[in-house]
Amino acid sequence: MLKRYIGTKAFYKSVLTLLIPIIIQQFITSFVSLLDNVMVGSLGTEAISAASIANQVMLVFNLAIFGGMSGASIFGAQFYGKGDMDGMRYTFRYKMYFGVLCSAAAILVYLLCGQNFIDSFLRGESNGGDMALTLRSGCNYLNIMLWGLPPFALVQVYAGTLRESGETRAPMFAGICAILTNLLGNWILIFGNLGAPAMGVEGAAIATVISRYVELLIVVIHAHRHTDRYIFIAGAYKSAYVPGKLVLRITRTAAPLLVNEILWSLGMTFINQFYSSRGLNAVAALNINGTAFNLFCVIMFAMGSAVSIMVGQRLGAGKMEEARDVDRKLIFLTEVVHVIMGGLLILVSPLIPRLYNVSAEVQDLTRQLLVIVGMTLPIHSFAHVAYFTIRSGGRTVITFFFDAVYTWAVTVLLAFLLTRYTDWPIVNIYFCVMFIDIVKVIIGLLMIRSGFWVRNVVNDPKPEPDRE
């Protein structure tokens, strides 16, 4: 029985070949984000709270980009598995259009409403902090970060398309260069080293924006210098044409994912806004906790990508039973790894808060939140790969109900009721909200076992040739 869940050496070799570059990039990203937080946190509770709130507001854009690109990526992975380079080229153009339009819309919304968004997080107790300073710093941080929205979107277009073809090293290299740029920029601009002015939180935002342009430059140059390897890039800009039927098919698939990511990110934003009613200490502790959570979830995020690519390519090639077998083994591997990662996080939970220049109350609160995260890592890792399993077959309407609808109907509602109608401390509320996803795990397990997601979405007649 256990053999059904354990792969061969060749299987794990192919998994590691795909995963290691993604894991390295995401680990370095999360680790540097931790260092970034430590640097900003050294400026005090107001600074780290301001950056945390602004980034929470930005999360809606980031996940909207992810959702819109994901629909096209389903087609990209299956087109690649089918060997259809014209199809990949069309999905690349589709993603380019979406990224530009979404960036423009987000910039407009944040310019008009950004201050109101940030202010909504500052309605709880100050816990001795300066609310006005936090609001001012958060608005300055957000306004600078707007310059980084277009390159962020375009990196997802290029890096995502490369990953769909199995190329993960180039995006990893570009990401590492961006991360190191960000880290160096933080050191210079936050504290005023090498003769630069000490800009505090604003310096952290400038460093992040610069790093995003560096990442974009590297990945674009790499893709266009190797058109013999990435055939879909050759001629990508000779025409703006995308077949109308394919646009409709991708849009039908992508729309639920786009709405899902927007609603899910809004749900997370509302939950954090509810948490903020417990005071500025809670905001700071949750920010530190979130950064550490991302560091310990790099394998989980990478496994989602592995499911999308490895299962998606097999579905595109018509290898349905092989797709189910690969998915089963990837999910089992994910759970084993995250039982270990959860235990490790619990062990180091007393150490992480000590890296920050925050009060003893914030440090103790962070430690308790990290223990809860460690306990729930296996739960969230299963829900994560279940989402990507269902999505790989293009069942995006179902993923919408599984993710966004569940988040609002269960998680957001629970957080609202507990913060509004009880006087429970934040730790008790956080425990209940994190563990409620056990219900989601049961639903995901039933759907995966049913096999309804095993589907080829690119088996329609090939679109007409490119129009140059």
Q: Give the pLDDT mean for 123-138.
A: 70
Alpha-carbon span 239 to 26, nearest angstrom: 34
Alpha-carbon span 173 to 167, nearest angstrom: 11
Name the band, by pLDDT with cuts 50, 70 and 90, for residue 63: confident
CB under 8 Å to 369, separation ≥6 — which residues?
285, 286, 289, 426, 427, 430
The lowest-confidence range among 148-157, 317-326, 420-429, 451-460 is 451-460
Smallest CA-to-CA distance from 185 within 162, 156, 209, 165 is with 209
For residue 460, give Cα distances in angstroms to 50, 84, 246: 50, 12, 10
Specify the DSSP element, H or E, that contains 369: helix 360-392
pLDDT over 60 (residue 460): no
* % residues pLDDT > 90 (the chain): 37
pLDDT value at position 209? 93
Coil, helix or strand for 24? helix
Alpha-carbon span 326 to 340, nearest angstrom: 22
Domain boundaries, the chain: 19-450
Alpha-carbon span 437 to 380, nearest angstrom: 7
Alpha-carbon span 60 to 268, nearest angstrom: 9
pLDDT value at position 25? 66
Alpha-carbon span 299 to 22, nearest angstrom: 9
Q: Quick: pLDDT tens for 394-418.
A: 788 898 899 989 999 999 999 999 9
Alpha-carbon span 334 to 153, nearest angstrom: 28
